[in-house]
Amino acid sequence: MTLWAATGLVLALNAGSSTWASRARNTDSPGYHALAASFSHGMWFLSQLLMLGNIVDVARRAAWTEAAVLGLFYTFSCVAGSVAAHVVEMRFKRG
């Protein structure tokens, strides 16, 4: 798997798990919310490890076209993950 593919997957999982945690807050299960929140925070940390170096690199080099591509990639990956998690949660609604 390429670094771009791995980063896209982690970003999608980060956004998706954030959506999952947000929806889990509306259930009557603290354990379910804890599971979703733990996954969400873990994915956030991993996404920061993968993205921060890229962000610093493009800023140092003033590579603004590359920064725009990175921003679009980030946005697309996060939207895809969030919408996918929403669809899955709607199918398997809890609480």
Rounded Cα distance between 20 and 94, Å, is 11
Number of structural domains (the chain) is 1
pLDDT tens sequence for the chain (95 residues): 788 898 899 999 999 999 999 999 988 999 999 999 999 999 999 999 988 888 888 889 998 998 899 899 999 999 999 999 999 988 887 55
Rounded Cα distance between 78 and 88, Å, is 15
Tell me the C-alpha to C-alpha distance, in Å, between residue 11 and each of 4, 88, 90.
10, 17, 21
Cα three-residue angle 10-17-1, rounded to 5 degrees:
20
Provide the residue range defining the domain that includes 45: 3-91
